[in-house]
Amino acid sequence: MEIIIGKTAGFCYGVKRAVDGAIEESKKNKKTYCLGELVHNKEVIEDLKNKGIEIIEDINEVNDKNLKVILRAHGVEKNIYEKAKINNIELVDYTCPNVLKIHKIAEEYANKGYYIILTGAEKHPEVIGIKSYCGKNFSLIEKEDDVYKAIEKFENSQIKKILIISQTTYSVAKFENITKIIKEKISENLVIKNTICLATETRQKETEKLSKQVELMIIIGGKNSSNTKKLYEIAKQNCHNSISVENGKEAEETLKNMDLSIIEKVGIMAGASTPKESIDEVIKVWHLFK
């Protein structure tokens, strides 16, 4: 049996920056808060907690103004910065630079009077943050079926200019299809900015290519990780035997219930918030089965 590990598997730049930075903060301070989960990976979060970083869901939970608050890689709503300033809370901002760029674009075009269409998952923290910069005139498209409602809402708004942006980890194929539909309906004063990050795009392309070459695809990453879910969806389209696991233990439980006799090649890909340790664990487990 041959095992092929994706070259882009594991931490992207933004996640590595956030995790390394949070660990450094934990060394400087006995206790540090993080507003929301720094990244969407259970193992990473548990490690940070063990290093003294406490996860909070509301900045109002900070009672000691001498403690620092880390902002997660997914970013936060605009009013968080305002609340922190009013309450003299020091923020350590590890929002991914790609997400911060989207915040600036959304705010700039909202101020110019554009109607904004954002593609992404409604309940994802990155999308919640981006929405706060879009002003009142915007629509969110999560599924491709939502595009027609968004177009109707734009047309009823009487606004003449429109901007399309995306969550950094959204499906490249879905974004391209959505923009194609919108361009067919709206041809004037339309600005499209593909804000899906390069790390997401390259992972999705590599997963698509790899999943066509193997009999089994193993996608490694957190169950609440948007980019990991997209990789699994792509893998499943091309390889019937595709599984999504968080770590070695889950991989072992899943693989022992599968018929592996027909597997000659296995591909492994991991989400952008998956640590190397988790990838190594799964590879070690696979060697026990082959």
Q: Could you report the per-residue pLDDT of 22-69, keeping only the tens digit for each?
A: 999 999 877 889 999 999 999 999 999 999 999 999 998 887 766 789
Q: Which of 37, 126, 206, 250 is catalytic?
A: 126
Q: What is the mean pLDDT of the segment spanning 92-103?
A: 97
Answer for the pair 171, 233: CB distance below 8 angstroms, yes or no.
yes
Distance of CA 141 to the CA centre of its chain: 16
Q: What is the mean pLDDT of the segment spanning 208-217?
A: 97
d(CA 221, CA 208): 17
pTM for this entry? 0.92
What does the mean pLDDT of the chain come to? 94
Is the sign of the CA dihedral 55, 59, 65, 70 positive or negative?
Answer: positive
CB count within 10 Å of CB 122 equals 13
Q: What is the mean pLDDT of the segment spanning 196-205?
A: 95
Can you give the pLDDT at residue 63? 76
Residues in Cβ contact with 281 at an 8 Å cutoff, skipping those fewer than 6 apart: 247, 248, 249, 251
Can you give the pLDDT at residue 60? 87
Please provide the distance, in angstroms rounded to a whole number, between the alpha carbons at the two ends of the chain: 7
Q: Could you report the per-residue pLDDT of 249-275, keeping only the tens digit for each?
A: 999 999 999 999 889 999 999 999 999
| pLDDT beyond 90 at 237 | yes
Q: What is the mean pLDDT of the segment spanning 132-154?
A: 96
φ, ψ at 70 (rounded to 5°): -85, 135
Q: Of the ranges 27-41, 157-171, 221-235, which one carries the lowest mean pLDDT score?
A: 27-41
d(CA 258, CA 266): 13
| pLDDT beyond 90 at 132 | yes
Can you give the pLDDT at residue 163? 98
| pLDDT beyond 90 at 1 | no
DSSP class of 118: E
| pLDDT beyond 90 at 100 | yes
Confidence of residue 75 (pLDDT cuts 50, 70, 90): very high
Q: Please provide the size of the chain in residues.
A: 290
Q: What is the mean pLDDT of the segment spanning 229-243?
A: 96
d(CA 118, CA 120): 6
Can you give the pLDDT at residue 187? 85
Q: Phi/psi zone of residue 67: left (φ > 0), alpha (ψ -120 to 50 degrees), beta?
A: beta
d(CA 31, CA 42): 20
Can you give the pLDDT at residue 231? 97
126 is catalytic: yes
